[in-house]
Structure 1
Amino acid sequence: MTAWAPTAALGRALVLGGVGLVLGLVAGDPVLVVLAAPFVVLAAVTLAHRPTRTPRLDTRLDHVVLREGVGTTSRLTLTDAEDVEHVTRASARPAHVSVRPDDGQVGGLAEQGAPAVELSPRRWGRRLLGEEKVALHSPWAGFRLGPVVLGGQPVRVLPATTPYDSRSEAPQPLGLVGAHRSRRTGSGTELAGIRPFLAGDRLRRINWRVSLRTGALHVVTTRAEEDTGVLLVVDALADHGISGGVDGPPSSMDLTVRAAAAIAEHHVRSGDRVALRVVGRGREQVGYGAGARHLRRIQDRLATVSVGEVSEPDSGVLQLGVTGGAVVVVLSPVLAEPVGTVAAALTRRGVAVLVVDTLPADVRPAVPQGVDPRVADLAWRMRLLERSVVLDRLAALGCPVVAWRGPGTLDDVMRRLARRSQLPRVVGR
């Protein structure tokens, strides 16, 4: 309804006032006239304030990009609203979105400003916020416009991250500049040793204590500080479990996306080059880069991940473009065969690979209608046994597997990978 229409209150006032006056005049009873007088006055005042302008409605959100658990406000703007006295808003309640007030219905006088509705997405992804119905009333509630259906505004909800500070070394830093200690000497802050002075050494590197004690010039050598490339491989072939939002129990995709966002933020802040590759329906990917703008690109891609199997899951999965000195972090519940294949293949090639297990501990699959729950439970246990075999084979190949438990999960594993990369290798010829 986009035009003003009489309300039921105006109709009752007209009917009761008219009937009371007619009966009072016909019966000659002034009591009926007195009883009908308030309704006549109400109808007259309401018709005197008959609206002549059709207002225009518009809604907007304070933010179009949010993080999980962060709220925004939906504001209603009225134009040509001189004839409006009261505003009523009834907001939709989409999945994984909290609304305040809880029922999504607010009302207030137009002269005090249209009432606002607070919205808070509780899960990452694309969300449509601000869908609602708005009803306007003229003075004395004689005329109503609406309810008018207003469409929502698309919002990208970025995954929540828990910042953490890790001092673990990268296994194979081969970049130009960064915060990781390299195996070669160079201009850095980490002490590597003291050696005799050679032509070309900088004078500020001279260690005068050792030089005076030995009678010959000696200089301090340091290890270079370099960056490394981190490739995040996200398994989006399926989502196991039911997501409870940022405040409830997570599903496998919740853990995967949030862990990828936390790891990417940590390495970008450390000066490393980070890339993203999604194995799933959308096949989203982001090339290597660094800086705050690149981190935002990765977070945007993670917020728009499409969950689902590809038509040919084996095609192109191994083409990850891994470069020398890169560390591959595979985030997966390890229930799909292509993910285990890519981790094993990269490990055999000598690439530093780390598998982050994102399968929730208490996850249970949904039982299809018509299937015996005992049969479904048996099938799920068999699938978990197959998964444990895959994890054991990866560990035997030298690919560490660690369950995601929040910040600090990767510290010990990254240290072991860094120590292992410095050991001599036996290569068969």
Structure 2
Amino acid sequence: MIDAGSRWQLTGSLGRALAVGGVGLALALAIGRPALVVVVAPLVVAGALGLVHKPTHEPMVYASLAHLQLHEGQGTRSRLQATGTEDVEHVARVASPQPYIAVHPHEGALGHLLRPGEGVAPLEISPRRWGRRLVGAEKVALTSAWAGYRWGPTPLVGREMSVLPTLTHFRAGGEAPQPIGLIGAHRSRRDGDGTEFSSIRAFHPGDRLRRINWRVSLKEGSLHVESTRAEEDAAVLLIVDALADYGMSGGVESTDSSLDVTVRAAAALADQYVGGGDRVSLRVLSPGGEYVGYGTGTRHLRRILILLSNVRPGVPRDVAIDQIDFRTTAGTVVVVISPMLSEPLATATVRLARRGLPVIVIDPLPAGTIPSVHPDVDDEVADLAWRMRLLDRSHLLARLASSGCPVVPWNGPRTLEEILRRLARRGQVPRVGGGAG
């Protein structure tokens, strides 16, 4: 972002002042009209002062950003650093307009008188949508005293900023449907070696003698032991549908597209479960095939958010959706965030549910969404095609519901609470079925 190629040049105002002043003085002498001297005298004086203050130092300017990674809606400042500004009186900055980047002042133009010992006023920048955003691209012009000479305007190259999805910190009160551990916030429902009490049952061959509860054994007349819960952590798999983006995005605190809701919902759920100590994995269905394995902790959450900020919509090129190995294990809670406008994805979701896994589908499609249409396509034809797709979608959602996959619209981090409670109660009912593959 450093520039050294610009040079001081005569300004148009100084040239006009000298030209008009010289012509006025010549006419005053030629026609003998002293009044003309009075008229052009201010221009002559201003031009003379501009020439007297001709710059002798070549400045160097560069801009620096206070932050290169923010959440959408947060703000930072672009500060202009300059050297060799002994001859500079005024600084002008104009930020290049960029999609989903808000600046202050609103127009992105900033003028500032440079006084000795003072810095240049910063530009305030706020990214309004997740993703990779170019920020800090602008043009800078310096002006000498009396506006006699100008340096620039010269462009400064911006820098790419990683804009993470916004987070709403929330901790769920409902248990995971089939949690398998104690390391996270959700208790295990599987008996095994551990420290948390589960139940008292009759003695079986192989039980440890130290588990015998003598008080109950004497009362019942037969040996009884205390069983405990296994000390393993629960696992949550987030499947993000980035096959397409429906609707128009206006950035944070404005209209949302389906992919906006999808990415922000995935970020909120990851924060919710990672914050509770559970293992979380993320699989994105997109051309990049982004994947983050199971993990916990703030560093793992940061990896998930960075991956979500790099999502680009599109269909995977190297593998069919219904053939993807989602790497699930028994007890994994699967959350599919998708508008379910893809038949293969609905098939893959049903297959996960039939493995005995608790599967929840979150619908991120905003109400009244109208996809963008090519200008050459007739509006009536496009409207009919979209209504047919919504009809197919309703059949897919009904198919999912009949397969035991509850479908709920995204309504903030509390969306899954009641669904998780129902699935947890259902998970306590004995049933015949195989484990996950």
Which stretch of structure 1 is more off in the superposition, 391-400 or 238-247?
Answer: 391-400
Say which of 24, 49, 54 aligns to 1:50: 54
Which stretch of structure 1 is more off in the superposition, 262-271 or 348-357?
Answer: 348-357
Q: Distance in 1 between matches of 2:323 and 2:50?
A: 71
Q: Is the counterpart of residue 36 in structure 1 residue 46 in structure 2?
A: no
Retained in 2: the 8 A contact 1:9–1:142?
A: yes
Q: Is the counterpart of residue 293 in structure 1 residue 296 in structure 2?
A: no
3-state SS of paired residue (1:113) = coil
Indicate how the Cα distance of structure 1 residues 424 and 219 shifts in structure 2: closer, same or farther if over 3 A, else same: closer
Q: Is the counterpart of residue 9 in structure 1 residue 13 in structure 2?
A: yes
Q: Is the counterpart of residue 126 in structure 1 residue 136 in structure 2?
A: no
2:77 alignment partner in structure 1: 73
Q: Please report the TM-score for the alignment, with normalisation by the length of structure 2.
A: 0.88
Q: Is the counterpart of residue 64 in structure 1 residue 68 in structure 2?
A: yes
Which stretch of structure 1 is more off in the superposition, 259-268 or 341-350?
Answer: 341-350
**Per-residue deviation, residues 362-398 of structure 1 (Å, max 9, x unmatched):** 1112233233322222221221111111111111111
Which stretch of structure 1 is more off in the superposition, 310-319 or 374-383?
Answer: 310-319
1:139 alignment partner in structure 2: 145
**Per-residue deviation, residues 220-249 of structure 1 (Å, max 9, x unmatched):** 876456421111111100001111211112
1:156 alignment partner in structure 2: 162
Retained in 2: the 8 A contact 1:206–1:220?
A: no
Indicate how the Cα distance of structure 1 residues 346 and 218 shifts in structure 2: closer, same or farther if over 3 A, else same: closer
Q: Please report the TM-score for the alignment, with normalisation by the length of structure 1.
A: 0.90
Retained in 2: the 8 A contact 1:178–1:225?
A: no
Say which of 160, 172, 176 aligns to 1:170: 176
Residue correspondences, number? 424
Q: Distance in 1 between matches of 2:249 and 2:168?
A: 18
Indicate how the Cα distance of structure 1 residues 273 and 18 shifts in structure 2: closer, same or farther if over 3 A, else same: same
1:366 alignment partner in structure 2: 372
Retained in 1: the 8 A contact 2:139–2:155?
A: yes
Q: Distance in 2 between matches of 1:308 and 1:154?
A: 22
TM superposition shift of 1:124? 0.8
Q: CA RMSD in A?
A: 2.9
3-state SS of paired residue (1:128) = strand
TM superposition shift of 1:337? 1.9
Indicate how the Cα distance of structure 1 residues 357 and 319 shifts in structure 2: closer, same or farther if over 3 A, else same: same
Q: Distance in 1 between matches of 2:421 and 2:30?
A: 101
Retained in 2: the 8 A contact 1:192–1:223?
A: no
**Per-residue deviation, residues 173-226 of structure 1 (Å, max 9, x unmatched):** 334622212222665567746999x84359xx999xx99999xx9998764564
Q: Distance in 2 between matches of 1:134 and 1:38?
A: 29
3-state SS of paired residue (1:329) = strand
Which stretch of structure 1 is more off in the superposition, 343-352 or 289-298?
Answer: 343-352
2:405 alignment partner in structure 1: 399
Q: Distance in 2 between matches of 1:364 and 1:280?
A: 22
Q: Is the counterpart of residue 420 in structure 1 residue 426 in structure 2?
A: yes
TM superposition shift of 1:312? 5.2
1:200 alignment partner in structure 2: 210
Which stretch of structure 1 is more off in the superposition, 220-229 or 113-122?
Answer: 220-229
Q: Sequence identity, in percent?
A: 52
Q: Distance in 1 between matches of 2:346 and 2:319?
A: 12
Say which of 83, 93, 97 aligns to 2:97: 93
Which stretch of structure 1 is more off in the superposition, 48-57 or 254-263?
Answer: 48-57
1:244 alignment partner in structure 2: 250
3-state SS of paired residue (1:157) = strand
Retained in 2: the 8 A contact 1:179–1:226?
A: no
**Per-residue deviation, residues 378-425 of structure 1 (Å, max 9, x unmatched):** 221221111111111111111222111112111111122222222222
Q: Distance in 2 between matches of 1:338 and 1:287?
A: 23
TM superposition shift of 1:20? 2.7
3-state SS of paired residue (1:182) = coil
Indicate how the Cα distance of structure 1 residues 219 and 349 shifts in structure 2: closer, same or farther if over 3 A, else same: closer
Q: Distance in 1 between matches of 2:47 and 2:174?
A: 79
2:313 alignment partner in structure 1: 307
Q: Distance in 2 between matches of 1:194 and 1:231?
A: 34
Q: Distance in 1 between matches of 2:311 and 2:226?
A: 50
TM superposition shift of 1:324? 2.7
TM superposition shift of 1:320? 1.4
Q: Is the counterpart of residue 351 in structure 1 residue 361 in structure 2?
A: no
Q: Distance in 1 between matches of 2:85 and 2:287?
A: 48
Retained in 2: the 8 A contact 1:60–1:153?
A: no
Retained in 1: the 8 A contact 2:237–2:334?
A: yes
**1:401 alignment partner AA:** V
**1:3 alignment partner AA:** R
Indicate how the Cα distance of structure 1 residues 374 and 19 shifts in structure 2: closer, same or farther if over 3 A, else same: closer
Q: Distance in 2 between matches of 1:160 and 1:389?
A: 32
Which stretch of structure 1 is more off in the superposition, 321-330 or 134-143?
Answer: 321-330
**1:372 alignment partner AA:** D
